[in-house]
Amino acid sequence: MLAWLGVEPNTVSERAVIALMEHFGVSMAALIYQLNIIGVLSYDDGQQLRSRGVTSLIERHRDVAPSGAATTASHIRRPPERLTRQALASAQEQRLGLSVLASLLERDDDEQLWQEIMASQTQATASTDIVL
Amino acid sequence: MWFPETSALVTLAVHLPLQQAVVAVLSAHPLVLVKAVVAELEELAMTSDITATWAGAALSQLDWLPEPVPLDDPVGVELAVSLQEEIASGRPLKHPMEHFGEAAVISLACRAQRLKPLMLCDDYNARVAAKNHGVEPLSVHKLLHLMIRQGKVTAAEAAGFADALHAAGRAQDYTAQELSSGRLARVGQP
């Protein structure tokens, strides 16, 4: 998995951790948690890495962490993907108006968005049995 | 029973011949004008929005409608407030009454199912909310489609009305063929 870092298979060096933090733009805590979840880093090894301090580790491996992505908050906020997908499905079924989806996608609530959202839907004619 | 709503009355005010044609058709049916619709028109007329002039014109064209009825308080008002939030979907209101006219219409109409309520409405999000509360919504363009199908206007006349709305920046451009067939995209739905 980490062969591109030149490390041994199934080992996670501190250098690999710093490079992965840079690559994914995540904190050390988040990365260690994920590495633990997928079974390549034990809890104790993770805690040991954390005890060394993020700043000093990044300083030591500056060549694989040049941008500071792992220690800089991006302040980008995105709605949860599942929420957006649910809103999209509901808008296509006309159980939800378009304005919620427009807000989630940061788009204008206009004809163009409606066409894009409904492109995959069968375009019904405006039929009704109302007698005028 | 027809419930004309704020956005539709604004649309009708854009082009007098359109308003006259619609009035000629709908006057034959029971109509309800909700006080909140008038209040929203009054609020809209005081804004600097492009629709302010049309809202003012709409206020001077209400004589074909019966006396406005108030919303029952607290049940109707509470439901309308919640519907207003649903239609606004978290967007800030341009004025306190924005969306309240359609919300009030849905609130009243959805509890009058026996009367088979129909809402004339040019706000897509409000039409979706209406449909989901058992009120059949129609945009002005969808009404024009029905009027063509039932011989109340010709397709050419309806296309002329649609052209006037498009020229005023009130709607997309729709051809006589689209109005006849009912393939009206967003304004034909729901």
According to CATH, where is 3.40.50.1010 located in chain B? 2-140
Superfamily of domain B2-140: 5'-nuclease (3.40.50.1010)
From chain A, which residues contact B within 8 Å (Cβ)? 94-100, 103, 109, 111, 114-115, 118, 123-128, 130-132
Which helix (H) or strand (E) segment is B58 a member of? helix B52-59
Dist. CA A14–CA A130, nearest whole Å: 72
Q: How close does chain B come to A100, measured CA to CA in Å?
A: 5
Nearest CA in chain B to A101: B89
pLDDT value for A4: 63
Residue B125 has its nearest CB partner, among A99, A111, A118, at A99
Residue B88 to residues A107, B104, B111, B185, Cα–Cα distance (Å): 15, 14, 22, 22
Residue-by-residue pLDDT tens, chain B, 190 positions: 999 999 999 999 999 999 999 999 999 999 999 999 999 999 999 998 889 999 999 999 999 999 999 999 999 999 999 999 999 988 888 888 999 999 999 999 999 999 999 999 999 999 999 999 999 999 999 999 999 999 999 999 999 999 999 999 999 999 999 999 999 989 998 9
CB of A15 closer than 8 Å to CB of A61: yes
Give CA angle at A76 (A71, A77), nearest 5°: 125
Q: List the strands of the sheet with B118-120, edge to edge.
A: B2-4, B118-120, B136-138
When computed from its CA atoms, the radius of gyration of chain A, rounded to whole angstroms, is 24
* CB-defined contacts A:B, below 8 A: 78
CB of B49 closer than 8 Å to CB of B100: no
pLDDT value for B132: 95
Whose tokens are 């375009």? That residue is: A123
Residue A97 has its nearest CB partner, among B28, B87, B183, at B87
Residues of chain A neighbouring B141 (CB-CB closer than 8 A) = 126
Residue B186 has its nearest CB partner, among A103, A111, A125, at A111
Q: Extract the residue ranges of chain A whose pLDDT is less than 70.
A: 1-10, 74, 122-127
Q: What totals of helices (H) and strands (E) does chain B contain, helices first?
A: 10, 3
Predicted TM-score (pTM) of this structure: 0.78
pLDDT value for B163: 97
Residues of chain A neighbouring B142 (CB-CB closer than 8 A) = 126, 128
Pull the structure tokens for residue B85: 């939030």
pLDDT value for B46: 94
Dist. CA B190–CA B127, nearest whole Å: 6
